[in-house]
C-alpha cells in the first residue's frame, strides 16, 4: 500500500517557461522590492529614497542580458580549453538581493539552452564561514563566480578575499589553483547600454511557445550544499523537473496571486529560499528583499519589530521557523495585510498552531533538500476545523505534492544500514507502526555531487512503483496514523533540526576533533529550562586535562568558539562545552547519549569573583542574559557572535521593560555587548521618566519646528506647467490619499458610488495591494473608468510621480481629501515626521501649484486640542454631534501636546492654516469600526480586561467617546463638497464627537468584572501566558500590551493624555495633577 501517492500527469513545464508566461501576463507588476525593513521606525525623512523596485518585464530583460553574457563566457572557455559544456557550475556570491535573483534566472535560462548548460550554486558570504565557502567552491568545480558590486574588487584580483581573509579554492584533487572567472553582476548589467540584446550573437533564448522537452527538464538546475556526516558539506544536485511541480502546488496552497507581497527572510544557502523566490515569481506577486542581513536580523529580534515590518511593508505571506513563531504574539492591528504564514523545518507545537490559525492561514511544509525543497503540505486551519472535536490532535506531515509518493518503510538495523541496501523493502500498513520515511516522484534529486557511493546508498530503486524510478531514504522517523497519514517523529540518526536549521551533529564533532586540545567529542541536544540547547562534550588530550578546569573554563570555551566560527555557520556553534573524563557507555558498549549530563548553569551574581569588577547595570544585564541564553557570558562578548537569536532578544527586552528599562532591538544590534548596552543605559537612562519626556512637546517648540517646514514651502520656486488633455471628467478630479487605512477604506466605498460625476484619483504606495484590498469581485457596482489609482510616495518631492502624472494632477484637481497618515500612538514625534509632516509639506506645495483647486480637506484628530479645550464637558450625553469651531489652534505657547501622533497632526494643521490655502480641517475623536474590519486600542483594552477577568480601577475623569465610523463617514461626505450657495474659499474646522463616558467597569457590558488597583492590573497582565489570551470578535488583548508602559506612572499622565484625552483638561499650574473640566 502506498501511504501517500499524489499522481498527476508528468510535468512538462520548466520554471523559466512559467516565468515567461507570468512576464507576458503581468509585465508591469512589481516583482522585486528591495527596502530597508527598519526605515519606517527611523526618523529619517529619506528612508524610502534608496528603495529599489523591478517589474517582471525589467527582471526578465536583465536576466536575459546576463544569460547572454554567461553564454559568451561559456563559449570562450570551451573554445580555449576544448572542454565539453556539461558541467558549467556558476556560483553566485551574494546576500539576498535583486542581483541574486537576476543571476538565478539567468543561470536557469542558460541551463535550458539547447546547446549550453549551467548549474546555479548559491554562495552565501553572510551565513557561511570562509572555510566552508572555500570547500564548496573547490568541490563544485565552478567555472564562473558572479559577485555583488560590494565584492567588485574580487573581479580585479587573482585571489578571493572575504572578510579580510583569503579563500583557499584549490582543487580537491590537485594542489594547483583552479582558474575561476569572477564577474561583477552590476558591471555586467551596465553593458546593456552598449549592446542591443536582440543582436547579441550568442543569445539564442529559450523558445517558450512550445513545451520544454523532457530531456531538458531532466538537466541539473541547481547545486546546494547541506550538512554532511563526514565533517564536510555534501552537494545535492537537483533537476528542473521537480521545481515547477512543487512551486505550483505551494502557490495553490498558500493562495498566492498578483498583488501578494512575500518577505524574503531565509538565507540563500538554504533550498527553502527557492520557495520564497519561486512562489513569488510564478504567481505574479512581489518579493520584499531586506536591505542587508543585519536589517532582517533586527526585524526578527522582537514581536513588535517583526509585526511592525509586516504592517509597514504590507506583507501578505511570510515563511518562519516554528521556534520563532512560538515566541511571537498575534496582533490583529498589525496583521491586517498578512494572510499566510508558512512553517517548516521542525515540529511546531499544537498550541502555537491553534493560536495562529485564529488569525492567518497557517501552512506547514515538509521535505528534505534531496526531494526538491517540498514533498508534502499541510494546511493547519483545515486540520483543526476537521478535528475540532478531538481532544488530542496529532499534526501529520500533510498530503504529498503532485507527482510525489511518500512511503513508511520498516527500518533496518544500524549495522545492516552500513551494508548492502539491495534487500527487499517492507511497507508498513498498520496504524501505529513506526519506520523510515521514503519519498519518490519527480522531485527526487539527481544525487550527491561527486559522491556516487553515497548516492547509491540514499537514492534507491523505487520497488513499490516498479517503473525504474528512484526514491530517497530520508532518515526521518515516522509513525503511521489513521487515514494513511504520517506523523514526523524526528531524525533516525544524529541529524537534527534546531531553530529551523538542519544540523549534522557529527559534522560539529569532526571539526572539534581536529582541534589540538580535543581528543574526542560528542555533540548532542539537551533541553534546559524548556529550551533545546546544543552541547559539546569533550575528552581532552591527556597533556591538556590537568590544565583545564571542568565546565567553568572561559578560555577553553572562547578558544573552541573562535575556532568553530571559522569552520561552521553560527547556528552550529554549541552553547556549552563540557569536559568529561570519559563518555557513558550502555550495555551494548556503545556511547549512551541519554546518559550525557546536562550542564549546570552558573548565573553570575554581584558577589562572585568574576563579577566583582562589574557595575550594577552590567551585573543585572549579565544575569538576565545568562538566564535567557543559558551560557556564561563576559561583558565584553559580542552577543550576536555568541549566538543571540531573535527569541533571546524578545525575552531580554520584555524582562528589562518589566524592570523599568526601555530598550529596543536596534539598541542590542547597535551596541552588541553587555558593556556597551550598559553604557547606553547608564548615560541615556531609558526609564519611564525619559519615556514620558519624548512624548511631551510644548506648543512653542511645535511652532519652531513648523516654521522650518513653512520656510521650505514659502521658498519653493514657481513652476510653469504645460497644458495637458485631461479627458472628460465633468467636474474635475478629486485626489484622495490614505484610502487603504481604516477611515480611508470606508470613504472609498462611499465615494465611488456617490461621486460618480468626478474622476476619483487615489494616490497609494502600492497599486496592486490597494486594488486587491478595495475592489473585491462583484462587490461594488461602480464605473471603474471613473476611478484611477496612481502609485506614489507622499513623503517624497512631487510624490515620486513622473512629470506627466504630476502635471495631470496639478491641472485637473479640484478637491483634495488628505487622509493618509501613520497612526501609531506609541510613536514619538521624530518617528512621525516623515510619514505625516513631510507628507503634508509636499501636499501643500502641490496644492499651491494646482490651477483649479477649490478646497483641501485634511483629516486630523481631536487629540490636537482635546487636552486644552474646556468645551467638551458641555457635549456629554448629546449623542453624535458635529461642531464647527472658528479658532483653529486656541492654546498658549506653554501648552503641552502629548504623543508623537497628535504632535505631528498639530504641526500639519499649523502649516495648513498659515499658507493661505482654502482648507477644511476634520477632527474626528475615537472612531470605532463597527463593521469589525479593524480594531483600535479601546477595543483591545476591553478585550484584555475580558481575557484576565479584571478591570483597572481608573479615575472617573478618564473618559472617552465612541464614534461609529459609518455615522462619521456619512457626516464627513456631506461636508467635503460645498453647495452652490457656499463660498468655496471659506476655511473651516469640523469636530466629530459622540457622547463620552468614564472608562469604568460598566463600559465592558453586561458581565461585570471586579476592579483592582492599576499597578496590580498591569502586573497581572505581564505575568500572564500570552498564548492563553483569546481574541474576541472585536479587540485583541495582545494589542494593548504595548501601552502598559503608559501605566507605570502614579498620575497616569501618558495613559490619559495620549490615549484618552477626551473629557478632561490638564492643569498647567500643577504638572502632576489631572482634573476634570470646569
Per residue in 959-1017, pLDDT (tens digit) is 777 778 888 888 888 888 654 344 455 788 888 877 666 665 445 555 567 888 887 88
Residues 218 and 187 in one domain: yes
| CATH number, residue 1029 | 3.40.50.720
- pLDDT of 100 > 90? The answer is yes
Residue in 600, 672, 590, 662 with CA at minimum distance from that of residue 639: 672
pLDDT at 552: 43
Taking CA atoms, 1067 is separated from 535, 894, 1071, in Å, by: 60, 12, 7
Dig out the grid coordinates for 729 from the structure. 471628467
Q: Which of 665, 686, 707 is the last residue of a domain?
A: 686
- Determine, yes or no, domain membership for 364: no
Q: What percent of the chain has pLDDT over 70?
A: 74
Range of the domain at 200: 15-33+52-240
User: What tens digit of pLDDT does each residue of 551-606 get?
Assistant: 445 578 878 988 998 888 877 888 888 898 888 875 444 577 888 888 765 444 44
**Among 535-539, 1017-1021, 1046-1050, which is the least confidently predicted range?**
1046-1050
Distance CA 214, CA 226 (A): 28
More confident residue, 152 or 598: 598
Specify the number of domains making up the chain: 4
Mean pLDDT of 527-546: 75
The answer to the question of residue 369 being in a domain is no
Q: Which of 320, 348, 341, 238 is nearest to 15 (CA)?
A: 238
- DSSP-assigned states of every residue in 341-374: EEEESSPPPHHHHHHHHTTSEEEEEE--GGGSS-
Mean pLDDT of 700-720: 84
Q: List the beta bridge partners of residue 366.
A: 376
| One domain for residues 143 and 20 | yes
Give the domain-ending residue among 595, 620, 642. 595
pLDDT in tens, 814-852: 999 999 998 888 778 887 888 899 999 999 999 999 989
CA–CA distance, 841 with 713 (Å, rounded to integer) = 7
Burial of 112 (0-12, 13-18, 19+ CB in 10 A): buried
254-257-259 Cα angle (round to 5): 120
pLDDT the model gives residue 842: 93
Radius of gyration of the chain, Cα coordinates, nearest whole angstrom: 32
Whether residue 978 is contained in a domain is answered as yes
User: 661 and 810 share a domain?
Assistant: no
Cβ neighbors of 1050 (< 8 A, separation 6 or more) are none
Q: What does the H/E/C string look like for 575-622?
A: CEEEECCCCCECCCCCECHHHCCCCCCCCCCCCCHHHCCCCHHHHHHH
Q: What is the DSSP letter of 1058?
A: I
Res 531 pLDDT > 80: no
- pLDDT score recorded for residue 104: 97
Residue 97 sits at the vertex; the CA angle it makes with 95 and 99, to the nearest 5 degrees, is 105
- In this structure, the answer to whether residues 577 and 627 fall within a common structural domain is no
How many other β-carbons are positioned within 10 Å of the β-carbon of residue 177?
A: 13
* CATH number of the domain bearing residue 195: 3.40.50.12780
In this predicted structure, the answer to whether residue 328 has a pLDDT above a threshold of 90 is no
| Residue 289 included in any domain | no
Instruction: Please provide the DSSP assignment of 36-84 as one string.
Output: -TTGGGS--TTTTTT-EEEEHHHHHHHHHHHHHHHHHHHHHHHHHHT--
Q: Does position 171 have pLDDT exceeding 50, yes or no? A: no
**Distance, CA of 635 to CA of 639 (rounded, Å):** 9
> Which stretches within 685-729 are classed as H helix?
688-693, 699-714
Residue-level pLDDT at 173: 42
Give the angle subtended at the CA of 1034 by the CAs of 1029 and 1040, to the nearest 5°: 50
Residue 1 lies in a domain: no
DSSP state of 632: -
Residues 569 and 634 in one domain: no
- HSE-CB at 767 with a 13 A cutoff on CA atoms is 10
What pLDDT, on a 0 to 100 scale, did the predictor assign at position 835? 87
750-809 confidence digits (pLDDT tens): 888 778 778 889 999 888 778 777 775 434 555 667 888 999 999 888 998 988 889 889
Asked whether the CA dihedral 884, 889, 892, 895 is positive or negative, the reply is positive
* 280 φψ region: left (φ > 0), alpha (ψ -120 to 50), beta (else): alpha
* 933 & 994 share domain: yes
Asked whether residue 543 is assigned to any structural domain, the reply reads yes
pLDDT of residue 660: 76
Q: What order of strands is seen across the sheet that includes strand 733-737?
A: 787-791, 759-764, 733-737, 813-818, 855-859, 919-924, 988-993, 881-884
Spatial distance between the Cα atoms of 230 and 228, rounded to a whole number of angstroms = 5
Cα–Cα–Cα angle for 521, 522, 526, nearest 5°? Answer: 140
> 148: which 3 cell numbers?
555583488
Choose from 274-283, 559-568, 727-736 the range with maximum mean pLDDT: 274-283
Q: What is the pLDDT of residue 17?
A: 92
DSSP single-letter state for residue 178: P
Q: At what angle do helices 98-111 and 15-25 cross, to 10 degrees?
A: 120
The number of CA neighbours under 13 Å toward the Cβ of 380 is 29
| Model pLDDT, residue 744 | 87
Choose between 843 and 294: higher pLDDT: 843
From the number of C-beta atoms within 10 Å of its C-beta (0-12, 13-18, 19+), residue 1000 rates as: middle
For residue 669, the domain's CATH number is: 1.10.1200.10
Is residue 809 in a domain?
Answer: yes
Query: In terms of Cα–Cα distance, which of 410, 151, 413, 148 is closest to 289?
Result: 148
Residue 625 near residue 674, CB atoms below 8 Å: yes
Grid coordinates in use for 536? 559539546
- Hey, what's the torsion of the CAs at 56, 60, 61, 66, to 10 degrees? 140
* 96 has a pLDDT exceeding 70: yes
Check pLDDT > 80 for residue 492.
no
Q: Are 832 and 958 in the same domain? A: yes
Same-domain pairing of 896 and 799: yes
CA neighbor of 909 nearest in space, from 896, 922, 925: 922
Greater pLDDT, 74 or 688: 74
Residue 753, all three cell numbers: 458610488
1043-1000-1052 Cα angle (round to 5)? 40
**Are 678 and 724 found together in one domain?**
no
Would you say residue 518 lies in a domain? yes
Same domain as 813, residue 673: no
Same domain, 679 and 700: no
The last residue of a domain, from among 240, 256, 288:
240
Residues 6+ apart with CB under 8 A from 361: 254, 255, 339, 340, 341, 379, 381
Partnered with residue 440 across adjacent β-strands are: 405, 471
Instruction: Read off the pLDDT of each residue in 648-677 and give the average, rounded to a whole number.
Output: 80
pLDDT at residue 828 in the model = 81
- The rounded mean pLDDT for the chain is 78
- 8 Å CB contact between 763 and 794: yes
- Quick: pLDDT tens for 895-947: 888 888 999 999 999 999 998 899 999 988 888 776 656 667 888 888 788 77
* Of the listed ranges 67-81, 690-704, 1062-1076, the one predicted with least confidence: 1062-1076
Q: Give residue 431's Cα distance to chain centre.
A: 39
- Listed in sequence order, the residues at least 6 apart from 318 whose beta carbon sits closer than 8 Å to its beta carbon are 262, 263, 265, 310, 338, 340, 341, 342
- Integer CA distances (angstroms), 18 to 246, 247, 282, 934, 973, in order: 13, 10, 6, 37, 46
Q: Which residues pair with 166 in a beta bridge?
A: 161
Q: What is the pLDDT of residue 979?
A: 44
| DSSP element (H, E) containing 183 | strand 181-184
Residues 749 and 856 in one domain: yes
Residue 33 has pLDDT above 90, yes or no: yes
Contact call for residues 271 and 278 (beta carbons, < 8 A): no
Element counts in the chain: helices (H) and strands (E): 34, 47
Of 890, 948, 831, the C-alpha closest to 1065 is 890
Check residue 157 and give its pLDDT: 55
For a pLDDT cut of 90, what percent of the chain falls above it? Answer: 29
In the three-class reduction of DSSP (H, G, I as helix; E, B as strand; rest coil), residue 886 is classed as coil
Q: Are strands 220-226 and 181-184 parallel, antiparallel or unpaired?
A: unpaired
In angstroms, rounded to a whole number, what is the distance separating the alpha carbons of residues 103 and 88?
14
The answer to whether residue 631 scores a pLDDT higher than 80 is no
Amino acid at each position: 500500500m502506498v501511504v501517500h501517492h499524489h499522481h498527476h500527469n508528468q510535468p512538462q513545464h520548466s520554471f523559466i517557461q512559467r516565468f515567461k508566461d507570468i512576464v507576458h501576463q503581468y509585465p508591469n507588476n512589481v516583482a522585486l522590492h528591495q527596502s530597508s525593513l527598519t526605515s519606517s521606525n527611523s526618523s529619517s525623512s529619506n528612508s524610502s529614497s534608496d528603495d529599489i523596485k523591478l517589474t517582471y518585464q525589467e527582471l526578465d530583460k536583465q536576466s536575459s542580458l546576463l544569460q547572454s553574457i554567461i553564454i559568451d563566457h561559456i563559449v570562450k572557455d570551451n573554445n580555449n580549453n576544448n572542454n565539453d559544456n556539461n558541467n558549467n557550475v556558476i556560483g553566485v556570491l551574494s546576500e539576498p538581493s535583486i542581483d541574486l535573483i537576476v543571476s538565478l534566472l539567468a543561470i536557469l535560462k542558460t541551463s535550458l539552452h539547447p546547446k549550453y548548460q549551467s548549474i546555479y550554486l548559491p554562495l552565501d558570504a553572510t551565513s557561511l564561514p570562509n572555510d566552508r565557502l572555500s570547500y564548496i567552491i573547490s568541490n563544485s568545480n565552478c567555472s564562473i563566480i558572479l559577485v555583488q558590486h560590494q565584492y567588485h574588487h574580487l573581479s580585479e584580483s587573482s585571489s578571493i578575499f572575504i572578510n579580510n581573509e583569503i579563500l583557499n579554492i584549490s582543487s580537491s584533487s590537485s594542489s594547483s589553483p583552479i582558474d575561476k572567472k569572477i564577474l561583477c553582476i552590476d558591471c555586467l548589467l551596465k553593458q546593456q547600454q552598449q549592446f542591443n540584446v536582440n543582436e547579441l550573437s550568442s543569445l539564442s533564448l529559450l523558445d517558450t511557445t512550445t513545451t520544454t522537452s523532457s530531456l531538458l527538464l531532466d538537466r541539473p538546475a541547481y547545486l546546494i550544499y547541506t550538512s554532511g556526516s563526514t565533517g564536510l558539506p555534501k552537494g545535492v544536485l537537483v533537476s528542473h523537473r521537480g521545481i515547477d511541480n512543487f512551486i505550483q502546488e505551494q502557490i495553490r496552497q498558500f493562495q498566492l496571486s498578483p498583488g501578494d507581497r512575500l518577505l524574503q527572510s531565509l538565507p540563500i544557502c538554504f533550498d527553502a529560499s527557492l520557495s520564497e523566490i519561486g512562489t513569488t515569481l510564478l504567481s505574479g506577486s512581489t518579493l520584499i528583499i531586506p536591505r542587508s542581513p543585519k536589517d532582517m536580523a533586527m526585524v526578527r529580534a522582537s514581536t513588535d519589530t517583526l509585526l511592525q515590518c509586516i504592517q509597514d511593508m504590507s506583507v501578505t505571506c511570510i515563511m518562519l521557523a516554528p521556534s520563532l513563531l512560538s515566541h511571537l504574539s498575534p496582533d490583529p492591528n498589525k496583521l491586517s495585510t498578512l494572510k499566510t504564514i508558512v512553517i517548516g523545518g521542525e515540529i511546531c507545537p499544537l498550541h502555537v498552531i491553534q493560536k495562529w490559525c485564529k488569525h492567518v492561514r497557517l501552512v506547514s511544509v515538509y521535505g528534505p533538500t534531496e526531494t526538491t525543497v517540498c514533498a508534502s503540505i499541510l494546511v493547519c486551519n483545515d486540520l483543526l476545523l476537521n478535528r475540532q472535536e478531538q481532544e488530542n490532535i496529532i499534526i501529520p506531515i500533510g498530503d504529498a505534492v503532485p507527482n510525489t509518493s511518500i512511503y513508511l518503510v520498516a527500518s533496518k538495523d544500524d549495522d545492516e544500514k552500513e551494508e548492502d541496501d539491495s534487500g527487499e523493502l517492507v511497507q508498513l500498513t498498520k496504524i501505529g507502526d513506526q519506520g523510515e520515511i521514503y519519498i519518490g516522484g519527480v522531485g527526487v534529486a539527481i544525487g550527491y555531487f561527486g559522491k556516487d557511493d553515497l548516492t547509491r546508498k540514499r537514492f534507491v530503486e523505487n520497488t513499490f512503483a516498479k517503473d525504474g524510478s528512484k526514491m530517497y531514504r530520508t532518515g526521518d522517523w515516522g509513525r503511521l496514523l489513521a487515514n494513511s497519514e504520517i506523523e514526523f517523529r524526528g531524525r533516525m540518526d544524529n541529524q537534527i533540526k534546531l531553530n529551523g536549521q538542519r544540523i549534522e551533529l557529527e559534522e560539529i564533532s569532526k571539526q572539534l576533533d581536529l582541534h589540538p586540545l580535543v581528543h574526542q567529542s560528542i555533540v548532542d541536544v539537551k533541553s534546559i529550562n524548556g529550551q533545546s540547547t546544543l552541547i559539546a562534550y569533550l575528552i581532552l588530550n591527556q597533556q591538556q586535562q590537568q590544565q583545564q578546569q571542568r565546565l567553568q573554563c572561559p578560555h577553553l570555551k572562547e578558544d573552541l568558539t573562535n575556532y568553530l566560527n571559522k569552520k561552521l555557520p553560527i547556528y552550529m556553534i554549541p552553547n556549552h562545552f563540557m569536559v568529561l573524563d570519559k563518555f557513558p557507555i550502555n550495555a551494548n558498549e556503545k556511547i549512551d547519549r541519554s546518559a550525557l549530563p546536562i550542564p549546570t548553569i552558573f548565573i553570575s551574581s554581584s558577589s562572585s569573583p568574576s563579577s566583582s569588577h562589574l557595575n550594577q547595570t552590567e551585573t543585572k544585564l549579565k544575569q538576565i542574559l545568562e538566564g535567557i541564553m543559558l551560557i556564561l557570558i563576559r561583558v565584553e562578548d559580542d552577543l550576536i557572535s555568541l549566538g543571540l537569536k531573535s527569541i533571546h532578544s524578545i525575552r531580554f527586552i520584555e524582562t528589562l521593560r518589566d524592570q523599568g528599562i526601555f530598550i529596543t532591538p536596534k539598541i542590542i544590534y547597535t551596541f552588541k555587548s553587555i558593556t556597551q548596552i550598559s553604557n547606553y543605559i547608564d548615560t541615556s537612562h531609558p526609564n519611564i521618566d525619559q519615556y514620558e519626556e519624548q512624548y511631551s512637546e510644548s506648543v512653542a517648540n511645535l511652532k519652531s519646528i513648523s516654521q522650518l517646514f513653512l520656510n521650505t514651502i514659502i521658498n519653493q520656486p514657481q513652476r510653469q506647467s504645460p497644458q495637458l488633455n485631461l479627458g472628460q471628467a465633468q467636474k474635475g478630479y478629486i485626489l484622495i490619499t490614505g484610502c487603504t487605512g481604516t477611515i480611508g477604506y470606508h470613504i472609498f466605498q462611499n465615494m465611488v458610488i456617490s461621486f460618480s460625476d468626478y474622476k476619483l484619483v487615489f494616490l497609494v504606495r502600492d497599486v496592486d495591494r490597494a486594488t486587491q484590498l478595495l475592489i473585491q469581485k462583484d462587490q461594488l457596482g461602480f464605473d471603474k473608468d471613473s476611478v484611477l489609482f496612481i502609485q506614489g510616495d507622499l513623503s517624497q518631492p512631487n510624490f515620486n510621480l513622473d512629470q506627466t502624472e504630476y502635471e495631470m494632477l496639478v491641472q485637473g484637481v479640484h478637491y483634495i481629501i488628505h487622509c493618509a497618515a501613520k497612526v501609531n500612538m506609541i510613536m514619538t514625534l521624530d518617528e512621525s515626521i516623515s510619514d505625516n509632516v513631510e507628507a503634508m509639506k509636499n501636499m501643500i506645495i502641490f496644492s499651491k501649484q494646482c490651477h483649479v483647486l477649490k478646497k483641501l480637506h485634511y483629516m486630523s484628530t481631536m487629540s490636537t486640542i482635546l487636552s486644552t479645550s474646556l468645551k467638551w464637558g458641555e457635549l456629554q450625553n448629546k449623542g453624535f454631534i458635529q461642531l464647527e469651531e472658528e479658532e483653529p489652534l486656541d492654546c498658549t505657547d506653554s501648552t503641552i501636546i502629548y504623543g508623537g501622533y497628535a504632535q505631528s497632526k498639530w504641526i500639519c494643521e499649523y502649516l495648513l492654516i498659515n499658507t493661505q490655502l482654502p482648507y477644511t480641517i476634520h477632527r474626528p475623536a475615537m472612531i470605532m469600526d463597527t463593521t469589525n474590519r479593524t480594531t483600535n486600542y479601546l477595543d483591545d483594552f476591553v478585550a484584555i480586561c475580558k481575557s484576565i477577568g479584571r478591570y483597572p480601577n481608573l479615575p472617573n475623569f478618564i473618559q472617552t467617546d465612541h464614534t461609529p465610523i459609518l455615522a462619521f463617514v456619512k457626516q464627513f461626505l456631506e461636508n467635503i463638497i460645498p453647495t452652490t450657495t457656499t463660498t468655496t474659499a471659506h476655511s473651516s474646522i469640523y469636530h466629530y464627537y459622540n457622547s463620552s463616558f468614564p472608562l469604568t467597569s460598566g463600559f465592558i457590558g453586561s458581565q461585570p468584572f471586579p476592579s483592582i488597583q492599576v499597578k496590580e492590573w498591569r502586573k497581572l497582565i505581564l505575568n500572564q501566558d500570552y498564548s492563553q489570551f483569546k481574541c474576541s470578535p472585536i479587540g485583541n488583548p495582545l494589542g494593548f500590551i504595548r501601552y502598559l508602559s503608559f501605566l507605570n506612572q502614579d498620575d497616569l499622565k501618558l495613559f490619559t493624555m495620549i490615549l484618552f484625552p477626551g473629557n478632561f483638561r490638564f492643569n498647567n499650574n500643577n504638572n502632576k495633577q489631572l482634573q476634570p473640566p470646569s
